[in-house]
């Protein structure tokens, strides 16, 4: 075939380039391909492990499991019983904490805010034992900050109102020895604290003995019982008449 002047054959660049690349991949050592694959698997495993750890830490910050040891909450909670504690429900912070960093504000009073709600009368709470912070106790909230608690004739009065404690199943409440509540006078719950007692009133170390429980020592609210299966379910709170 006769070519015209200036005509040059078009070089098959694209086809040659693709062919060359294909041969280079085919010539890649199997050991290198295996190392790349292993690195990919290792990376996926590492990412999965980090994700699981983050989920665990988040859940742990909201819910925690506890095993009940002792009989202080009989007949409602039992030794060896496993429960879940809601830690977020009592989350709180001091609105004035950042302001104390400013000059002249070191003595600024606290302004505590509970986004959800603070502990309520009748709720069962898990907390750090005030006399030994390494131990966790579980009791029921009876009195709130500013309340007066009076134990008289085997019954409990809060702000001069008798509590209907049906969950005690007839057990009477008494004070012992030199307990502050043993002198026939109401005990006033200080600010920043609650008055707690175990349901097994004759076998419980609680606010009758060691005083009010600081709110900052509360870990969370006893929420769900999950083991043994016979006790599975939401842990109910006591319901009391509205207090002034």
Catalytic residues: 72, 139
Q: Which long-range contacts (CB under 8 A, 24 or more apart) does 155-162 make?
A: 156/197, 157/186, 158/121, 158/240, 158/243, 159/243, 159/244, 161/241, 161/243
Nearest to 125 by CA among 238, 58, 240, 223: 223
Distance (Å, whole) CA 35 – CA 29: 10
Are residues 83 and 217 in contact, defined by beta-carbon separation less than 8 angstroms?
A: no
Please give the DSSP secondary-structure letter assigned to residue 89.
Answer: T
Are residues 84 and 226 in contact, defined by beta-carbon separation less than 8 angstroms?
A: yes
């Amino acid at each position: 075939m006769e070519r015209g002047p200036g005509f040059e054959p078009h070089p098959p660049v694209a086809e040659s380039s693709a062919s060359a690349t294909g041969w280079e991949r085919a010539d890649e050592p199997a050991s290198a391909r295996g190392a790349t694959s292993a690195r990919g698997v290792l990376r996926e495993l590492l990412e999965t492990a980090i994700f699981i750890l983050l989920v665990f830490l988040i859940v742990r910050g909201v819910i925690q499991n506890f095993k009940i040891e002792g009989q202080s909450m009989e007949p409602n909670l039992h030794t060896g019983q496993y429960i879940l504690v809601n830690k977020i429900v009592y989350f709180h912070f001091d609105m004035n904490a950042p302001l104390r960093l400013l000059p002249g504000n070191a003595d600024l009073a606290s302004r505590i805010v509970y986004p959800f709600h603070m502990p309520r009368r009748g709720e069962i709470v898990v907390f750090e034992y005030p006399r030994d912070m390494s131990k966790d106790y579980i009791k029921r909230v009876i009195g709130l900050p500013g309340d007066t608690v009076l134990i008289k004739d085997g019954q409990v009065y809060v702000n001069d109102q008798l509590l209907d404690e049906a969950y005690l199943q007839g057990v009477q409440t008494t004070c012992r020895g030199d307990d502050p509540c043993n002198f026939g006078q109401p005990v006033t719950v200080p600010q920043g604290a609650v008055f707690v007692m175990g349901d097994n009133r004759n076998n419980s170390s609680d606010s009758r003995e060691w005083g009010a429980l600081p709110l900052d020592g509360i870990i969370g609210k006893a929420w769900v019982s999950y083991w043994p299966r016979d006790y599975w379910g939401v842990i109910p709170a006591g319901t009391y008449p509205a207090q002034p």
